[in-house]
Amino acid sequence: MHNSPARNGQHGPELLDATRTRFRLWAPDAQSVSLVIVGGQTLPMKEAENGWYAVEADAGPGTRYSFLIDDELTVPDPASRAQAGDVHDPSIVVDPNGYTWRNPDWQGRPWHETVLYELHVGAYGGYAQIEQRLQALAELGVTAIELMPLAEFPGERNWGYDGVLHYAPEAAYGTPEQLKHLIDTAHGLGLMVFIDVVYNHFGPDGNYLHRYAKHFFRHDQQTPWGDAIDFRRREVRDFFIDNALMWLMEYRFDGLRMDAVHAITDRTFLTELAERVHAAAEPGRRLHLVLENEDNRSSLLTQGFTAQWNDDGHNVLHTLLTDERQGYYADYHQDSTTKLVRFLGEGFIYQGHQNRRGESRGEPSAHLPPTSFVLFLQNHDQTGNRAFGDRLVSLADPDALRAATAVLLLSPMIPLLFMGEEWGAREPFLFFTSHHGELADAVREGRRGEFAEFSEFADEQTRERIPDPNAVETFEASKPDFSKQDQAGHAEWLALYRQLLRIRHQEIVPRLDGSQFLGAEALGDAAALARWRLGDGQVLRLALNLGEKEVSVPPPAGDARLLHVSRDTEADPSAGTLPARTATLHLEVADER
């Protein structure tokens, strides 16, 4: 394969040749639509069936254009492939085949080899700066980078979940060609690249669809971001499915992380997306679809989706490491040892169980392979949704954190690291945006209001200390300082991550395909013993004690091989006791347990 074929969906411009383009817009609520070419002519667009407007024009790559709705409102293309500035500015015609791939035969990697590294492109400095760190990540043992959302958002600083132009990579980070060059470079180093996509809502600034295509939304269903997207409509489904195919086929991303699909009420949209993605993949190419889904719908993981972020696992480990119990951590602090056992032995904690409000969620998960779960100790949400963006290294006992890190990197679940975690970065990751005016005020006050139920932010004066999301200083403070990673206090963490990932690739990954849960049992307060049968029949055994007292533990089988003990201790890891804040992992020859 040399160049990817041009996307042939209905939404967005279609380059016919070097000088001519067909433009389309679904605008069922417009009376008229015209194409406005910057520095050129304004062309009336012909109305077709079902609310579509189209026109062909002399316009090659680089042409800037907008749409004029009802001779009164000029808007960008909602399927813009690039923007000449920000979300309100003209769109740009892009040649989807204009980049020549240096690694055209890349087919991806098997999922069980995945070690994810989540990063924010802006905090890294853009696509070109990420490229400079890829070699170091590959040498560390990372096999995939995951980019937080790239869809064009208002301003230059944003987490990415305020995107409004889903087909246009954020201009502040670089050009579409620079993004492809980053992906190409990663593939040359054996690294997969994932993108976080947001198909559950549009951001609050720059979305004009309500004006000319109000049926894009359904007003009878609300989400935390307003009216739900109406996936019952074919045009709406195609808008998002074509977008997924663009990232995977044209940009050659290796997979998608789909944000908050619990806010997508039409499950058939998700299954159709998975079907169409896998049908479009070239023979032999590996594509991976990963969900964030608070509903814990494990059944989706047998319907074309590869894995799900395991917030349950993070939450119980976090509350055991920090003793935090406010907000959603209350659901995990109560009876935390039982929940630790269920997480290690079955994947999800909530499998139809009730939370503190008496609401049940989740489906049984023990039948799934452990690789169906993406495990993390930190990510953009769990760090950035803290008032001051604290990282776990600043919150937890170091020995307990090393034990939890052994679980992260040596369990059969798929590990995800958050940028800077590998060397114990202490720079916060804060919530940042670059809104203006009334929206900026609303975001600032809304951010502070999120913490009103937390006792330490009960008074308004304390809440005012929470960093302003719109201040440039908030964004600057969130950049990890990689020059520190070889300094004392950081080099030790980096050495630990490197050691554990080396063990993972040597001992765990070759045996992961075909692995399964064998269950877990409590050893004492905050302590558990878990086993997984690996694909070659051997059993991986984890003894974990995040408590403050040593516990008794059955000795491993006589032929067991010690893979790792998380801290120096005088206790023999095979002697029947497990010290406080310690994890041990053994490989046992298969037995009948």
- Say what the pLDDT of residue 6 is: 37
- Say what the pLDDT of residue 458 is: 67
CB 274 within 8 A of CB 303: yes
Torsion, CA 301, CA 530, CA 329, CA 315, rounded to 10: -50
Instruction: Quickly tell me which residue has 């670089």 as its tokens.
Output: 174
The CA distance from 90 to 83, in Å, is 6
CB 376 within 8 A of CB 417: yes
- Say what the pLDDT of residue 3 is: 36
Interval 383-415: pLDDT, tens: 998 989 999 999 999 999 999 999 999 999 999
Q: Work out the average pLDDT over 110-137.
A: 97
Q: Give yes or no for residue 4 having a pLDDT over 50.
A: no
Q: Give yes or no for residue 5 having a pLDDT over 50.
A: no
Which of 162, 196, 259, 422 does the annotation list as catalytic? 259
Q: Give yes or no for residue 582 having a pLDDT over 70.
A: yes
- Say what the pLDDT of residue 574 is: 66
Which of 118, 152, 242, 292 does the annotation list as catalytic? 292
Where in the chain are the domains?
Answer: 439-469, 514-588
The CA distance from 486 to 305, in Å, is 39
Token readout for 158 is 């944003």
- Say what the pLDDT of residue 356 is: 84
- Say what the pLDDT of residue 593 is: 41
Interval 476-531: pLDDT, tens: 999 999 999 999 999 999 999 999 999 999 999 999 999 999 999 999 999 999 99
Interval 90-107: pLDDT, tens: 999 999 999 999 999 999
Q: Work out the average pLDDT over 313-342.
A: 95
The CATH T-level fold of domain 514-588 is: Immunoglobulin-like (2.60.40)
**Pairing state between β 373-376 and 307-309:** parallel
The CA distance from 439 to 500, in Å, is 45
- pTM value is 0.96
Q: How confident is the model at residue 591 (pLDDT cuts 50, 70, 90)?
A: low
Report percent pLDDT > 90 for the chain: 86
Which residues are within 8 A (CB) of 97 and not within 5 positions of it... i.e. 6 or more apart?
A: 3, 4, 5, 6
Handedness of CA 463, 469, 473, 477 (dihedral sign): positive
Is 259 a residue of the active site?
A: yes
Is 292 a residue of the active site?
A: yes
Instruction: State the chain's mean pLDDT as an integer.
Output: 94
Please give the biggest Cα pair distance in the chain.
83
Instruction: Quickly tell me which residue has 């990063």 as its tokens.
Output: 119
Question: HEC string of 490-533?
Answer: CHHHHHHHHHHHHHHHHHHHHHHCCCEEEEEEEEECCEEEEEEE
Q: How confident is the model at residue 459 (pLDDT cuts 50, 70, 90)?
A: confident
CB 516 within 8 A of CB 369: yes
- The angle that helices 176-188 and 127-140 make with each other, rounded to 10 degrees, is 10
- Helix (DSSP H) and strand (DSSP E) numbers for the chain: 16, 30
